[in-house]
Structure 1
Amino acid sequence: MKKVLIVTYYWPPAGGPGVQRWLKFVKYLPENGIEPIVYTPENPHYPLKDTSLEAEIPSEIKVLKNAIFEPYAVAGMLSKKDTEKISSGIIPKEQKQGFLQKFMLFIRGNFFIPDARKFWIKPSVKYLTSYLKEHEIDTIITTGPPHSMHLIGMELKKTMGVKWLADFRDPWTQIGYHSKLKLLPASRKKHQELEKEVLQSAEKIITTSFTTKAEFLSKTKRPVEVITNGYDVEKVEKLPMDEKFSISHIGSLLSGRNPENLWQAISELITENEDFAKDFQLKLVGAVGDPVLESIQKWHLEEWLVLKNYVSHSEALQLQKSSQLLLLIEIDSEETKGIIPGKLFEYMVSERPILAVGPVDADIEKIIRETNTGSYFLYPQKGEIKAYILEKYELFKKGELRSYPIGLQQYSRSALAKRLANLIKQL
């Protein structure tokens, strides 16, 4: 069985979407002839934790841990709230930022390149050089963000000649929040140079979206493959369906994900339809940016709003399956059209219709359309959004609201791991 070392920052007890991808790959790679060994920090600063995920780590998997120094731990002494928001990608609009937030963003963008985990690169290279030699492992995979993980892989390839596969769960210089980091010209150039060097050094590159693949192919001649995130068959206790006509968003709603026309459409339906007003409920589960809450207040939706803080992955799955309609929102930007949230695939197998709002030519539109799991709208399409919600509400009243997906098997974690194993064997 071929051994492969996986370098990942996010690993249980980390919560959020970043941990799911490789936790699931590790589960299914052995049945495809690959023995994964995971390398991860011993004392990481995770903005979200989900200890329930530790039970999902296969008992036979070797997990190596090494200490990491992170500036976020020091920054937290100044402002724990601001530190956790910035480290998880929740960045307020420029006019909403206080002095401390602006200062922290400037420091993060210009002094910690490519990111605040850069101090783990040298000790990791030293530790792994000995381990790879001792255990005769010649293949490594790095997954980012944080993209400093890729610099570990690049250095090991230079010094040891290992085969290296770089997995990008999100873009690098084109990621949505990159433009908010107050980068100086020299810092921006450094990010671009490091990205290019990584893309031109790895044997193979994996992206989670078709748009990111196209972007990377314009920067490298190395092979680029798309292996999206996916769904697993999860055994969770099934909750009763919500008695209310619930529209639920499960996961963080960052500041830029704020479709005013959606909130206005709901507000109009409440005003125009007495039955809808009695039956409706808006659920937001996870961290919610202040601009989103302000917009909800602007359209007088507080009475129908239910807020829940971050929940465990198993509880998130339960909430998805018990909600009437699932909400997926992406930032309305050219930079985000290639973002495919991991929760999309869990949404798709929940048998609940999806209402998605995002930018023009988004990858998520293609997947939702091809799998018949919901409808996708652009931010300005208030009338179309309103008509869709009303259509689903009428089905809800008849007891006939559900989705009818097709072709989902290709997105199962098992099928995706098989594709990944084939790529590894080709290295």
Structure 2
Amino acid sequence: MRKHTETLPTKNRWLILSHGFNMDGRAASQTITDKIPYLLEAGIKPVVFSAITGIQDQRFPHRQFLAWGPAAFRFDFRHWIANQYGRGLLYKLLTRSVSILLAPFIGLEKFFLGYSSQWSWAMPAFTHGRQLIRDGKIDVVYSTGGAWSAHLAGLWLKKVTGVKWIVEVHDPLVIRKSPVDAGSERPKNRDAQFRQYLERQIIRYADYVWWFTEGAVHYAKARNPNLNTQGNARGFTVLPGANPPGGIITSKAHQYSDTLNLCHFGSLAKDRSLATILNALSSLLKKYPHAGRHIRVHAYGAPLDVLTLDAIKQYGFEDVLLAHGRLEKDSVSGKSGRERVVEKMQEADVLILLHGNDEWCAEYIPSKFYEYLWTGRPIWGIVHHNPQLDQMLSNRGAYLSHEGDLEGINMTLERIWLDWEQKHLPTPTGEAIGVNQAVATILGIVQTPVNSLNHHS
């Protein structure tokens, strides 16, 4: 196999601003780090600026900066210490000491500004980025997040230097309250006010900006009629996709055991709670009492939320729901957290995808969905106000329920139970969505001449 190569462009030196770059298992990190091999293949020469929270990349210049504000410093310091020394006694001693020392300054920062903690990382990113641009070493600034400090730094660089600026918005910057709310009204919260301002500035100054769902683009245009008009950012949708950790996952024939294992991966909260599953399970056991001996719900990646804890106590499900916590890198096997997670995903009978119940779900698709697609395991998606995600799940033969439809959720769990009893769980249809298609879309639309992504034999 050989690459079809075109003349390398003169605009291929990209400064990538990503606060959480190379943080194992973090969605905001994976979204950009998974793109890097394809960007390199396409002839892009990246320089990455990030916080100190991740592992320094050795393939290209990767500079890590401490944030200048006390709250962000505390956050970054905790992760840096964990990476260096683990989360044992030294971690607890040092992080507690730093928290005590910084507490009065963090209080003043919140009182005078009220922004989310990582905002101040924009300052060192801007300072060092401006120098690189003035030295003629950068053609394009690519801000991606995650933490909106990367976009703030990109905005400052655009205003000061006029550099070409492309923006990747992971989650909506403006959080709507209802289906009829476009998010145009001024929020009361100061951080929300600033995010609303930042979105307007991105659309005014960025050369290109993209979001990860059709809903996010729709509402951004509703708030900003100048989006996609001449002289303003051209907005579009990119499905971020995901790559299988460690390369292509080998397909494994599913082995049925005497237990139906329902597995959830990722964060939990009151608006995204396994209590939804436990409530349905309680109803199922009234109809099929023997199912209690065979069903287990597994939670990976996050502490249990308060609603889940209450449901466990209410139903006596202490032996039914098993909380495994976050899977970190295994020092014995050398497997990364992501690789260990994928192994557990493949062992599941059914993967649970909780979407949430907030209005912003219309603009959001959980990043775990794209990872789930690589595993070959059936997905049970409980979706809220997102026709795009509904369609993507339906196209792959997934179990589909809707948030708030208690009867429908109960019926779906019963269907899963009966399918498992008959050893007839569905095999997902369709293909996984890789990151290569996202990079191809981005490079094609921003019209940067690069090496062809195509391979010819």
Q: How would you bin the TM-score normalised by the shorter chain?
A: 0.7 to 0.9
Among 6, 17, 21, which residue is 1:7 paired with?
17
2:439 aligns to what?
417
Give the AA of the match of 1:134.
Answer: D
Aligned equivalents of 1:105 and 1:146: distance in 2?
A: 18
TM-score, length basis structure 2: 0.75
1:376 aligns to what?
400
1:359 aligns to what?
384
Among 266, 273, 276, which residue is 1:258 paired with?
273
* Structure 1 residues without counterparts, runs of 5 or longer: 81-102
* Superposed CA offset, 1:15-47 (max 9, x none): 321110100111211222322221112x34xxx
* Superposed CA offset, 1:265-293 (max 9, x none): 21122232144222100101122222222
Q: CA 1:110/1:234 → structure 2, altered by over 3 Å: closer, same or farther?
A: same
Aligned equivalents of 2:111 and 2:389: distance in 1?
A: 32
Deviation at 1:143, TM superposition (A): 1.0
* Superposed CA offset, 1:115-141 (max 9, x none): 322222233222111122335322111
* Structure 2 residues without counterparts, runs of 5 or longer: 1-7, 80-103, 178-182, 228-232, 328-336, 450-457
Aligned equivalents of 2:380 and 2:309: distance in 1?
A: 19
Aligned equivalents of 2:221 and 2:188: distance in 1?
A: 26
* Superposed CA offset, 1:73-103 (max 9, x none): 6767xx99xxxxxxxxxxxxxxxxxxxxxx9
TM-score, length basis structure 1: 0.80
Structure 2 residue 43 is matched with structure 1 residue 33: yes
Q: Higher mean Cα deviation, 234-243 or 296-305?
A: 234-243
- Determine what percentage of the aligned residue pairs are the same residue: 17
Among 387, 390, 402, which residue is 2:414 paired with?
390
Among 213, 217, 228, which residue is 1:213 paired with?
217
Check conservation: 2:278, 2:312, Cα contact below 8 A. Answer: yes
**After the TM superposition, which residues 146-185 of structure 1 pair with which residues of structure 2 at under 5 Å, given as runs?**
146-174=147-175, 184=188
Q: CA 1:187/1:424 → structure 2, altered by over 3 Å: closer, same or farther?
A: closer
**After the TM superposition, which residues 263-278 of structure 1 pair with which residues of structure 2 at under 5 Å, given as runs?**
263-278=278-293
**After the TM superposition, which residues 15-414 of structure 1 pair with which residues of structure 2 at under 5 Å, given as runs?**
15-41=25-51, 43-44=52-53, 59-72=58-71, 111-112=112-113, 114-174=115-175, 184=188, 188-218=192-222, 219=224, 220-221=226-227, 222-235=233-246, 241=255, 243=257, 244-258=259-273, 260-287=275-302, 288-311=304-327, 312-370=337-395, 372-406=396-430, 408=431, 411-414=433-436
Q: Higher mean Cα deviation, 264-273 or 251-260?
A: 251-260
Q: CA 1:326/1:22 → structure 2, altered by over 3 Å: closer, same or farther?
A: same
Higher percent of residues as helix: 1
1:91 aligns to what?
none
Would you say how many aligned residue pairs link Structure 1 and Structure 2? 384
Give the AA of the match of 1:120.
Answer: W
Higher-Rg structure is 2
* Superposed CA offset, 1:3-23 (max 9, x none): 211100011245321110100
Q: Higher mean Cα deviation, 390-399 or 105-114?
A: 105-114
Give the AA of the match of 1:61.
Answer: F
Deviation at 1:420, TM superposition (A): 1.9
SS of structure 2 residue aligned to 1:293: helix
Check conservation: 2:27, 2:367, Cα contact below 8 A. Answer: yes
